[in-house]
Every structure is written in C-alpha cells, then in structure tokens.
Amino acid sequence: MGATQLTALRSLSQPVILAGQLYAAQSYVDDIANDYQTDLISIVNQTATTLATNISQLTATEHALFYQQAGQIYRRTGDGQATQLTQTSHKIVSFAPAPDGTKIVFAVLVSDAEAFNTVSDRPQVRRYTKRRYKADGVGFIDEQRHFEVYEATIAGETRRLLTTDLPVQVADTTGERALLIAQTTTEDADELRSALQWLDLETGAITPLTTEVAEVHEATIAPDGRQVLFIANDAQYPNRRVASLYRFDGEATTIAFDQEELLEGPNSDIVVQNQARHVRWLDDDTWLFETGFHGHTRVYQGSATTNQLLLDTPQYLQDFAISKGTVILAQQDTAHPSQLLALDLATKATQIVFDANATLQFPRAEKYVFSSEDGSPVDGWFLAAQSEGPAPVVLYVHGGPHGAYGDAFFWEFQRFTEAGYNVVFTNPHGSTTYGQDFINAVVNHYGEQDFRDVIAGLDVALQRFGEYIDANQQIIIGGSYGGFMTTWAIGHTSRFEAAISQRPVTEWLHLTGASDIGYNFVQDEMGANPYTPAGREELIKRSPITYAAQVKTPLLMLHGEYDLRTPIAQTEMYYTAIKILTDTPVEMVRFPQAWHGVSRNGLPNLRETRLTVMFDWLQKTLA
C-alpha cells in the first residue's frame, strides 16, 4: 500500500459560528515553504471555502470573527469585510474580543533578544541570573523582556493599559474590564505560579480574583459579566497535579468539577493549532466542558448543582463551539484524522458536518484492557499491519510520562501499518486521563510497574492478535520518556529484535542541569537530588546508561540538535557507552534545526525523513 504523506492531511480546529454560518481553522503542510499553513474556512453543505490564509487564534463574538494574521489582529464581519485592529511590532501572545465586537484587549511580548541560534558577524554574549533561563521550542529567555496589555477599538484607537515584567495572558473581557492570567513568581522560582486578575479598562486598576489555586490555565467570563469559569490546579504534586474546573460566582470560588482530568486527552501528531477553550458557557447558569477519560474525550453539561455526561465515545475532541442548542465539535479518532461533528443538545445525536479528509481511508485501532501486577486495569490499542500474513510488531511507548495514547489519530502509527508493521500502544501507570493516583504511581518508581505494564500489554497483544503478528520480530520504540523506557527496556531484556530511541532520558544527573525543566522535574519525579551523595546514587541506579553494558538489542537513536528538554547529549552519552562497552550495533541520527517536538511539530521534511530513516534501518536490521 502507498504511504500517506503528511502533505495529504488536513487538521481542523477552533470552530466558530457567526450569524448561523460555520467557520473553522484548517491546517496543513505547505510543501514548498516546508512549513505549516492555517486557513480560515467557511463551511456550507460539507464544502469548505478559504477566506483568509496564514491565520491563528480564531475566535468570534455574535458580531464578528477575530484572528491573528501576519502578526496582527483582524476583525472580519459576516459580509467578508476585514479590518486590521493592531499595528504592533511586538509579538502578540494573546487577545480577547469584547462581547459587542467593538474592541479587543491584547497582550504583547516586548524583547530585543535575537532568535535562537542566530548567526552574526559580531555576536553578543548572553547573561543569565534566573533558574529558568531557557525553554524548548523558544530558546533562551530574555531577562530584559517585559509584557504590555493594550486596548484597540474598531474606531482605530489603541491605548496601553498595563506594563509588567512577568508573563501575562488576556483570557477574556467584558468590554469594561479584562480577565488576565498573570504569572506571580519569577523565573527564579522552583515552581511557576499564576493567578486570575481583573484589569479595569478605564482606570487600569488590578483586582485579584482568586488566590485559592497555584496555576491557572484558562478562564472564561459568563454572559452576566460577573461569573467566571476557570481551569486550574492547586500546589499538590508538583509537575503532575490534575487540573480541575473552578467557578467564581461573583463573590466566592468553588470547585465545579474534579472527578476527571481537565486539559488532558490522547496524543495526536496532526494537531497544528492548539485548542482555544475546554469550557464554554451556554448561559449564565450552565456550561459545557471537556475531560480526558481513559484515553478519550468526554463532554459534560454543568451547572451549580449537577454535571451531566453528554458524550462518551472513543474519540479525541480538539475544540467546540455552541450555537442555539447545537455544539460543533472538532473531532478525530484512530481512523479519522479530522472532522467537524454537530451534537444536538436535546437528543444527544451527532452527525458529520464536514470531513476535511473525506477521500482518505485508514484502519481503526482496536482497544483492549489488561491487568497490571496489582490487578488494576490498563488500556492498550492494537493497529494491524496493512499487509498479508504475520508481520513484525512495534511496541510504542508515549512520552511524559504524564501523557496518554488513545482514541486519537496518529499519522505515524498509520505509516507504520502501511509499511507492514503492527503497532501496539498502551497507557502504563503514570499516564494521564486515569486520575491522580494512576499518575502518581510512576513517581519515584520509573522503570518498575510502568516498565512491566508496557511489557504485559505487548504480551497480551501477542496472545490476542497472534494471527497478525510475527512474534519473532518484536520492536520497541519511544520518544522522550518513551525514549527512557526504550533504553531502560533493552538494558533489562533481550526480547526485542530492534529498538529505536528518540530524544531519550538516559542519564538523570546530567538532565537536572541541562534540561529547561530539569531543575525541578528530576527532584519532583525521581525524588532524588543529584547534588547529594544519596541522590546521585539513586539517580545513577535509575539511569538507563548504567545498564548499557547489558544491551544486546540493535539500537537506532534519533535526536533533534535544538532540543532543550532532553538535550542531545543524552543520546550522545548513551551512544558512546554502547560503542565502548559492547559490540551491539548502534546508529545515531541527528536532526538539525529540530526541537524536542520534532516528531509532532518539527519541520515537515524532517518528519518525513525521520520515518524514512526508521523504515530503512528496520528493514536492514530485521533482514
């Protein structure tokens, strides 16, 4: 079967409705530019028409559409008239339109720092004093930066409302005041914190809304202009605390929902534009929100007294919009890359209103459940090779470890099946969408129950889907934490015929000081401080490189050269250890201009090349 190129796929996000007309953001790969493009489209009778190109952050009021284009914010009416609202030379980080559509409030980042890895005839030195001085996907953090908040009207008036040294986002606005998510700790803090604040647009006065939480992720104002729904987490379990839904009723804050995980869902590798909101108001008394549950997305209708489950099917929802009793959902599942569904709130029935990939067909993964060593259930999925006869099987391990696979479309997995490989993927202990206790199970215990879970999931797949699998050709692949698990596995078992590690953690001591999050991640996740004798001993025991001499499995190592999350030295050290300590075949492939997320949002040509490299190496190794 022919390979489905990345350029063939379309991804839908940010659906909005204006005067009964459906609009959305449609993303795809621009092969000539070797980049991702997002268009504003309108949809009528399952047919899309492009209205604007190179847009982001699509949103709408009852009166107009709003979006970013070429670094500025535009307002577009239903008759197609587009008006540029901003004239800024700074990067716009967030904005919100007023409900009447006559103004926006937006925040900008002001920085003179050069882009990461800029080459200059007269380079300048960089100075840092903060604990957090770099960020993967961004580069080095300018300590001289600041943030400004502005108001811009359709009459062409713009005025600055606020200047702050700490990051700030505009979450929403009533038109008289704006709701801000403001960072409250400096980059020198062990854990970053944020809070909600009201900004009076007339006086510039700041009023704290709530201090009950540690981090706020998103917020939305009710039609009455007083109530606020927001998603946040408290300070328990640093780095891994489950987010909950909170409601501010105008006077006090209460938890509206904390039985399942907000903000979490299964991984997909074709999402280009991030989800705008996970909670939206229906009216002053009710709202809709999404949760992540056992590898898929659920939809609830909430109120001050009840939370009613509306939708619970094997799928991943990227965003939604509400109009007159109908909810438009940006949806995908293991067999469908991206489509828009209409959910009738009265009947709970759904129907497809637009399929962005209607001409493409993909097989569906089959979900199965198996028992962990403590008897708790663990989810797994099997995607059969698109070939005849028993085929090799790939055990794929997700990153995180606090992430999840599930009922989402994964282009890479489909490409593996097209190349003649079965794919098994699981959510071992430590994964999200299963609750706080399941997440916590891996903390201080990497390479224990989580390792045995992924192996058990493969064993069950071999039994249940044995007719499709050549059990003599088992392969393990993973990235980030999955790369840790891959290198950990081949140091503890020789059952695999081949292994591919991507951007792995192989040595915890180095990661603490070299990673952009290492200064707190290692302590929080491993429970050990590398700057004490006992901590060093524990981290050495937990590092895959300690067991390199035992590796017998041929290994391919892939890593991005810009990676600041798990820097490329993690691969270089392990590669060198295998070379020195064993005669096991090992190959390293370096990806230039590639951050940690090269497999999800890296340059499109590198994503295609990455798969070609893996397929060619596997064909050679398994021959």
Q: Does the residue 213 lie in any domain?
A: yes
Q: Are strands 21-30 and 11-18 parallel, antiparallel or unpaired?
A: antiparallel
Tell me which of 328, 355, 382 is where a domain ends.
355
- Boundary-marking domain end, from 336, 355, 374: 355
CA-nearest of 22, 25, 28, 82 to 46 is 22
Q: How far is the C-alpha of 61 from the C-alpha of 47, rounded, in Å?
A: 23
Q: Could you tell me the residue range of the domain that residue 233 belongs to?
A: 57-355
In a domain, 7, yes or no: no
Confidence of residue 243 (pLDDT cuts 50, 70, 90): very high
Distance CA 101, CA 322 (A): 17
Regarding whether 424 and 297 lie in a shared domain, the answer is no
Rounded Cα distance between 342 and 333, Å, is 16
The pLDDT score that the predictor gives to residue 569 is: 98
Spatial distance between the Cα atoms of 479 and 502, rounded to a whole number of angstroms = 4
Of the two residues 211 and 366, the one the predictor is more confident about is 366
Query: Domain ends where: 334, 355, 376?
Result: 355
Q: Give the span between the Cα atoms of 511 and 521, in whole angstroms.
A: 9
Global pTM reads: 0.96
417 and 315, same domain (yes or no)? no
pLDDT score recorded for residue 3: 75
- From CA 588, how far away is CA 267, in angstroms rounded? 26
Strand order in the sheet with 91-97: 91-97, 103-110, 146-153, 158-164
> Does residue 48 lie within any of the structural domains?
no
Domain of 100: which CATH number? 2.140.10.30
What pLDDT is recorded for position 437?
96
Q: Which residue has the tokens 């959910």?
A: 343
Mean pLDDT score, 374-385: 97
| Residue 475 shares a structural domain with residue 618 | yes
Is 613 part of any domain? yes
What is the chain's mean pLDDT, rounded? 96
Residues 489 and 600 in one domain: yes
Closest CA to 231 of 221, 219, 214, 249: 219
In a domain, 52, yes or no: no
Same domain membership, residue 337 and residue 388:
no
CA dist list (Å): 565 to 209, 234, 474, 479: 33, 24, 29, 12
Asked if the structure places residue 436 within a domain, the reply is yes
How does pLDDT run across 584-600, given as a tens digit for each residue?
Answer: 999 999 999 999 999 99
What is the C-alpha separation between 184 and 169, in angstroms, rounded?
A: 12
Overall number of domains in the chain: 2
How high is the pLDDT of residue 115? Answer: 84
Residue 288 lies in a domain: yes
Secondary structure of 424-467 as H, E, C letters: EEECCCCCCCCCHHHHHCCCCCCCCHHHHHHHHHHHHHHHHCHH
Given this model, what pLDDT does residue 18 score? 96
Q: Do 317 and 415 sit in the same domain of this protein?
A: no
Region 12-37 average pLDDT: 96
What pLDDT score was predicted for residue 1? 52
Q: Are residues 496 and 618 in the same domain?
A: yes
274 and 317 belong to one structural domain: yes
Residues 387, 347 share a domain: no
How many angstroms separate the CA atoms of 333 and 322, rounded?
21
pLDDT, tens only, 541-563: 999 999 999 999 999 999 999 99
421 in the same domain as 299: no
> Model confidence over 190-215: pLDDT tens digits?
888 999 999 999 999 999 997 779 99
Residue 492 one-letter amino acid: H
Contact yes or no for 487/544 (Cβ under 8 A): yes
Q: Provide, rounded to the nearest whole percent, the portion of the chain with pLDDT above 90.
A: 94
H/E stretch holding 478: strand 469-479
Domain of 598, CATH number, reads 3.40.50.1820
- Among 623, 606, 533, 495, smallest CA distance to 35 is for 606
Neighbours of 546 (CB within 10 A): 17
pLDDT tens-place string over residues 255-297: 999 999 999 999 999 998 888 899 999 999 999 999 999 999 9
The predicted-structure confidence for 127-155, as pLDDT tens digits, reads as follows 999 999 999 999 999 999 999 999 999 99
Residue 350 sits in the same domain as residue 417:
no
Task: Return the DSSP state at 188.
Answer: T
Say yes or no: 340 and 378 in one domain: no
Q: Which of the four pLDDT bands, split at 50, 70 and 90, describes residue 40?
A: very high
**Residue 19 within any structural domain of the chain:** no
Supply the pLDDT for residue 2: 64
What is the predicted pLDDT for the residue at 14? 97
Report the SS3 class of residue 297: strand
Q: Are strands 55-60 and 287-293 parallel, antiparallel or unpaired?
A: unpaired
